[in-house]
Amino acid sequence: MKQSVLVGPRTSKIMDVPIPEVGPNDVLSRVRTCGVCASELAVWQGSGNYPSKIGHEIAGDVVEVGEMVKGLKPGMRVTGLIYHAFAEYAIAPSNQVIPIPEGISYEHALGEPISCIISGARRTEIELGDTVAIVGLGFMGMLMLQCIRLRAVLN
């Protein structure tokens, strides 16, 4: 398969690598889209070990599942926290993969960033009337704004 591999700071190369082998609890997915996460910026800029395989925010299609995997099967559209995903295929433990609901495109189904926001909002102690500052109102900031608003209202 083809995979984008960081070979040095700010330098990637498309390489031929083996398709990952599926273990008993794994899900192998064909990557349809992969987000670019700021958490990988440091390695891109030069603070990592090279070569390095990055990318972890994917949406794709299940190709194969391990014998212990329940609820996921080949052909399902999925998203999740799936490492080394700037590639044609990526593998993850089944507990890090969820189905994509019908009607949501691959490009709008990047579940990992949404999971980060939900997790952060759940850990935030906030009540109705509290003042909150959110720095940065891009995709993640706008999601956090909505979650914090719901968190305050539902407490």
Separation in Å, CA 36 to CA 18, 21, 129, 134? 23, 25, 35, 21
Whether residue 155 has pLDDT greater than 70: no
Nearest to 124 by CA among 103, 96, 144, 104: 144
Residue 32: its pLDDT value, please?
98
Residue 20: its pLDDT value, please?
97
For 66-82, what is each residue's pLDDT tens digit? 999 999 999 999 999 99
pLDDT-based confidence at residue 139 (cuts at 50, 70, 90)? confident
In this prediction the pTM is 0.85
The residues spanned by each domain of the chain are 2-109
| DSSP state string for 98-128 | EEPPTT--GGG--HHHHHHHHHHHHH----T
For 50-66, what is each residue's pLDDT tens digit? 999 999 999 999 999 99
Strand 57-65's sheet: what is its strand order?
89-93, 26-35, 57-65, 77-81, 97-99
Question: What is the chain's mean pLDDT, rounded?
Answer: 94
CATH superfamily of 2-109: Medium-chain alcohol dehydrogenases, catalytic domain (3.90.180.10)
What is the C-alpha separation between 63 and 104, in angstroms, rounded?
Answer: 19
Q: Is there a contact between 62 and 28 (Cβ–Cβ < 8 Å)?
A: yes
Whether residue 153 has pLDDT greater than 80: no
What is the C-alpha separation between 38 and 141, in angstroms, rounded?
Answer: 13
Q: What percent of the chain has pLDDT over 90?
A: 75
For 71-124, what is each residue's pLDDT tens digit? 999 999 999 999 999 999 999 999 999 999 999 999 999 989 988 998 888 888
Nearest to 90 by CA among 42, 41, 57: 57
